[in-house]
Amino acid sequence: MFNKILFLLLFVCFFSCKTSTESSFQNNSYSELTQPKLVVGVVVDQMRFEYLNRFKNKYTSNGFLRLINQGYSCNDHHFNYIPTYTGPGHASVFTGTTPSVHGIIGNDWYDRDKDEMVYCTTDPAYAPVGAAVKYGRVSPSNLKVTTLPDQNRLFTQMKGKTIGVSIKDRGAIFPSGHTANGAYWFEGLEEGKWVTSTYYMDELPVWVQKFNATSNISSYLKTWNTLYDISLYNESGPDASTYEKPFKGKSAPVFPYDLKALMEFNEGYDIIKNTPFGNTMITDFALAAIEAEALGSDQYTDFLTVSYSSTDYIGHDFGVNSVELQDTYLRLDLELERLLNYLDTKVGKGNYTLFLTSDHGAAEVPSFLKDIDAPGGYVQKNMFEPLYATLKAKYGVSDLIKNISNEQIFLNSDRIKSLQLDLVEVQEFIVNEIITYTAVSKAYTAATMQTSYFKDGIEKTLQNGYNQKLSGDVLFTLKSGIIAYGPKGTTHGSGYTYDTHVPLLFYGNGIRQGKTFARTNVTDVAPTIAALLGIAFPSGSTGTVIEKAID
């Protein structure tokens, strides 16, 4: 009798424990409410950190300020490499590493093997989908490591989706990574279409085809006037300015801008890119993607990467002190509000995590700097003519240099070998020559980058941007405020704070409210989000988790 009772007790205990274990598995499944259903990575192209504060009094409380006040802000956030361009910037944000590792050393660069300049996303193995696009033969193949969305796809057994959205192909392709379900960008010109590549698919989804309706795209061809009375834009310079580059077909860069009238002089639908309405179009497309792709609708975390590109085009044309730029950011603030409100409704408050940063900053217009007696200027087109002459005098030949681009000098290694010259000695000779040039601030050989370790300073940022297989034989930097650009508008690419200091805002599920003034780097973004999700870091990640940002 006792044995029967003992057997029954063990039997009940076994099934009770089994049920408890199964329940435990269910309760701790991937579908826990603490896991964000959607991660949205927002990159604002060419956004300097100061724009958060400079335009603060005119932002609404529900865009940038919502992210700042209810999220976690990193106020000393920087790019830790040179060059600060769009391609490397987007790649670094989402891989958690620098060009020295991920291999995107510029928007384009000199390829020694091909003896030509190559674009960062170019891949002849694939064809454009959706239109006869200029850069349609593209893929993420030049990106040598995985991205944050790639790791999420791997973690979820490819069940979590990834969609990338940007006006620029590089702004959609590099953030979304190698395993994206789709990456889309805008081709203007005569067609005005959102497009993709056969790397992702052979035909545009129906929802993209509908979005591409001519009547829809044409709706962004509006008259661009200031959002508020122009007299209120006292955080910027005067509207009529000699430092700005006007649209073709308009005599001066002043409001208003009739886009329909100007489009024929400015490459057709491409004019949308150079106005705030390009950002509006990006938001509209992103919302359509969330709806059509059912992002954030199941237990597997999805990724949406959104790169607002028009801020970069406008910054290049009008400069960082223009009314046009300020108006663009005030309108972008409303776009962020619209995006956040949609996420609240569609995905649900507390069900998504969003971060916002930039791919680089921008320099003040050098002609403006010169007029106020601040350091600034322009690179002369013939700056390197003396170098060719000096090399010929030294070595007796004029073909030792193959290419000069991205502030790097590529040597003709075959010619150097045939002359039985020492490559490092030639590199050092060039460094000693160009460091005497007025516009040059620093110069180093590739040999120095390979054999020395720099802890900080410009030297460290150069080293982080140096890729042993791809970069040049000599690297140099220009003095502060000096750029290789035209006399109107501005550009970026340096290691100075105006190009490296950008926003970093975390918001939503798993994010603590607060701020820090401790130094953070672009390489810290991906490992921080990976840590929040509990997934593996991107394969080349060299950044550090920003622990205080995670709740």
Active site residue 214: no
Residues 441 and 306: their CA atoms lie apart, in Å, by: 36
93 in Cβ contact with 529 (< 8 Å): no
Q: Which two tokens stand for residue 37?
A: 């259903």
Look at residues 505, 503, 525, 522 and name the one whose alpha carbon lies nearest to residue 49: 503
Q: Where do the domains of the chain lie?
A: 38-364+494-549, 380-438+440-478
pTM of the model: 0.94
Q: Which residue has the tokens 């990006």?
A: 282
Look at residues 549, 468, 550, 424 and name the one whose alpha carbon lies nearest to residue 73: 549
> pLDDT tens for residues 412-434?
999 999 999 999 999 999 999 99
Rounded to 5 degrees, φ, ψ at 424 are: -65, -35
Look at residues 161, 178, 175, 282 and name the one whose alpha carbon lies nearest to residue 220: 282
Catalytic-role residue among 84, 86, 311, 445 = 86
> pLDDT tens for residues 28-87?
444 444 799 999 999 999 999 999 999 999 999 999 999 999 999 999 999 999 999 999
Thinking of the domain 38-364+494-549, which architecture would CATH place it in?
Answer: 3-Layer(aba) Sandwich (3.40)
Q: Which residue has the tokens 């410009």?
A: 458
Name the pairing type of β-strands 72-78 and 514-521.
Answer: parallel
CATH topology of domain 380-438+440-478: Gyrase A; domain 2 (3.30.1360)
Residues 65 and 378: their CA atoms lie apart, in Å, by: 36
Distance between start and end Cα atoms, the chain: 56
Q: Exposed e or buried b for every residue in 465-483, given b needs 16+ CB within 10 A?
A: bbbeebbbbbbbbbbbbbb
Q: Where are the alpha helices (DSSP H) in 177-248?
A: 206-211, 214-218
Residue 44, classed as helix, strand or coil, is: strand
One-letter amino acid at 375 equals: P
289 in Cβ contact with 163 (< 8 Å): yes
Residues 96 and 434: their CA atoms lie apart, in Å, by: 33
297 in Cβ contact with 289 (< 8 Å): no
> pLDDT tens for residues 277-291?
999 999 999 999 999
Name the pairing type of β-strands 408-411 and 401-405.
Answer: antiparallel
- Dihedral angle, C-alpha 83, 86, 91, 97, nearest 10 °: 30
Full pLDDT tens readout for the chain, 551 residues: 434 444 444 444 444 444 444 444 444 444 444 799 999 999 999 999 999 999 999 999 999 999 999 999 999 999 999 999 999 999 999 999 999 999 999 999 999 999 999 999 999 999 999 988 776 899 999 999 999 999 999 999 999 999 999 999 999 999 999 999 999 999 999 999 999 999 999 999 999 999 999 999 999 999 999 999 999 999 999 999 999 999 999 999 999 999 999 999 999 999 999 999 999 999 999 999 999 999 999 999 999 999 999 999 999 999 999 999 999 999 999 999 999 999 999 999 999 999 999 999 999 999 999 999 999 999 988 999 999 999 999 999 999 999 999 999 999 999 999 999 999 999 999 999 999 999 999 999 999 999 999 999 999 999 999 999 999 999 999 999 999 999 999 999 999 999 999 999 999 999 999 999 999 999 999 999 999 999 999 999 999 999 999 99
In this prediction, residue 538 carries a pLDDT of: 98
Residue 393, classed as helix, strand or coil, is: helix
Q: Which two tokens stand for residue 89?
A: 């910037």
Residues 306 and 288: their CA atoms lie apart, in Å, by: 12
Look at residues 114, 113, 92 and name the one whose alpha carbon lies nearest to residue 104: 92
Beta strands in 116-221 (DSSP E): 116-119, 128-129, 162-166, 182-187, 193-197
Which residues have a Cβ under 8 Å from the Cβ of 259 and sit 6 or more positions away? 220, 221, 222, 223, 224, 271, 272, 275, 277
Name the pairing type of β-strands 128-129 and 116-119.
Answer: unpaired
Q: Following DSSP, what letter does each residue of 515-536 receive, concatenated?
A: EEEEEEEGGGHHHHHHHHHT-P
75 in Cβ contact with 49 (< 8 Å): yes
Percent of the chain with pLDDT over 90: 92
H/E run at residue 121? none
If you ran DSSP here, which 8-state letter would residue 511 be given? B
Residues 376 and 369: their CA atoms lie apart, in Å, by: 6
Topology alike, domains 38-364+494-549 and 380-438+440-478 = no
217 in Cβ contact with 194 (< 8 Å): no
Residues 250 and 246: their CA atoms lie apart, in Å, by: 6
Look at residues 426, 429, 185 and name the one whose alpha carbon lies nearest to residue 308: 185
Residues 72 and 549: their CA atoms lie apart, in Å, by: 6
In this prediction, residue 133 carries a pLDDT of: 75
One-letter amino acid at 81 equals: Y
In this prediction, residue 381 carries a pLDDT of: 85
543 in Cβ contact with 521 (< 8 Å): yes
Residues 181 and 167: their CA atoms lie apart, in Å, by: 18
Look at residues 422, 440, 418 and name the one whose alpha carbon lies nearest to residue 431: 440
Q: Which residue has the tokens 């660069």?
A: 109
Rounded to 5 degrees, φ, ψ at 288 are: -65, -35
In this prediction, residue 34 carries a pLDDT of: 78
